[in-house]
Amino acid sequence: MSETVAFIGLGLMGRPMALHLVKAGHTVRVYNRTAAKARSLAEAGATVCATPAEAAQGARVVCTCVGDSPDVREVILGANGVACTAAPGTLIVDHSTIAPSAAQEIERELRARGFRFLDAPLSGGEKGAIEGTLAIMCGGSSEDFEAARPVLSAYGRNLVLVGGPGMGQVAKACNQVLVVNCILGVAEALVLAQKLGADPHKVWSAVKDGAGRSWSLEVLGPKMLADDDSAGFFVKHQQKDVRILLDAARQAGAALPGTALIHQLYRAVQVRGGDECGNQTLYRAIQILSGGEWRPK
C-alpha cells in the first residue's frame, strides 16, 4: 500500500532508507539540514523540502532519523518542526537512538497534541540500510506498529514491537551493549594473534565459523585486518549511544562494567581525531595499549 511519507535526516543510514521508500512506490518528501545530501533523492523522484514542517505537509507517516534527543525535539516539536503542519492523527516514527525516558516524554507531548508516535531505533548500520535488511525495534501501540509496517518493511527485515513507549529504545540500548562488547572481543583476538606471531588473517579464517562467530567478526574483522577505518557507523555516534545506555543503566541500578570500559577505550580513538572513523577502530585502542600508535589518515 502506497503512502505519502516524510523522511527527515539523510545521513549514512537515512539516505538509503529514504531511497528504499521511493523504490517501493511511496510518495516521499525529504528534508536534511545539509541540503546537498538530498540531491540523490531528488534525482530518484523524492520531493526535497526546506524545513521539517514543509516535509510533513500532507504526509500520513513521518520518519525521523537524526542525532540525539535535542535534534529529535527540534525537527518534530521545534519552530519549523513536523508538529507545526502535520495533520492530527499523523504517525511519527523516530528512528534516532535516544534515551528511553526522552522517547517517552516526546510520545506524551505528541499524544497530547493529537499525533501518534513510535520509537523505532535501528540496527544494521549503513550496510543494512543500503541492503534494506535493518533490524527495527519498536516501542508504542500495536495499532501504530501495524500502521507503520508498510513503511518500515521498505528498509527493514526484522520488525519487532518490543513493548510500550520507550521500549524500542530499551532494546536498542541492549543491542549496543552486545555490539560494542563483540567488537572488543574481535579487536583483542586479532591483536593477540599478531602479538603471538600468528598470521591474523589465518586466525580469522580459523575461528570465524566457530563458537566465537559474530557479525562483528565476520564484517568488521576484515576491516580491522585491512587497516580500513572507514565508517559504516561513526565512532562519535557509537559513543553517543553508549553514553545514553550507561546513563539509563546508572538510573536503573544495572552494572555494565565491560561497556563502561569500552566507552573509555573509544576515547583513545576520539582524542586522536577518530570521531568520524568507523566503530571498528576500537581495534586501534587495543593496538595503542599493546605498544602501537595510530592517527586517522
**What pLDDT was estimated at residue 37?**
86
Q: Which CATH class is domain 170-289?
A: mainly alpha
Which of 37, 172, 223, 240 is flagged as catalytic? 172
Among the listed residues 136, 62, 148, the one whose alpha carbon sits nearest the alpha carbon of residue 106: 62
Task: Please write the tens of the pLDDT for every residue from 164-209.
Answer: 999 999 999 999 999 999 999 999 999 999 999 999 999 999 999 9
When pLDDT is averaged across residues 60-78 and rounded to a whole number, the result is 97
Domain ranges of the chain: 4-163, 170-289
Residue 63: pLDDT band with limits 50, 70, 90: very high
Write down the pTM of the prediction: 0.94
* Residue 148 scores a pLDDT above 90: yes
Decide which of 297 and 25 is more confident.
25
Tell me what the pLDDT averaged over the chain comes to: 96
> How far, rounded to the nearest angstrom, does the alpha carbon of residue 240 sit from its chain's CA centroid?
11
* Residue 297 scores a pLDDT above 90: no
Residue 1: pLDDT band with limits 50, 70, 90: low
- Is 172 marked active-site? yes
Which CATH fold would you assign to the domain 4-163? Rossmann fold (3.40.50)
Contact criterion met (CB below 8 Å) for 126 and 16 = yes
Task: Please write the tens of the pLDDT for every residue from 228-271.
Answer: 999 989 999 999 999 999 999 999 999 999 999 999 999 999 99
CA distance 274 to 235: 7
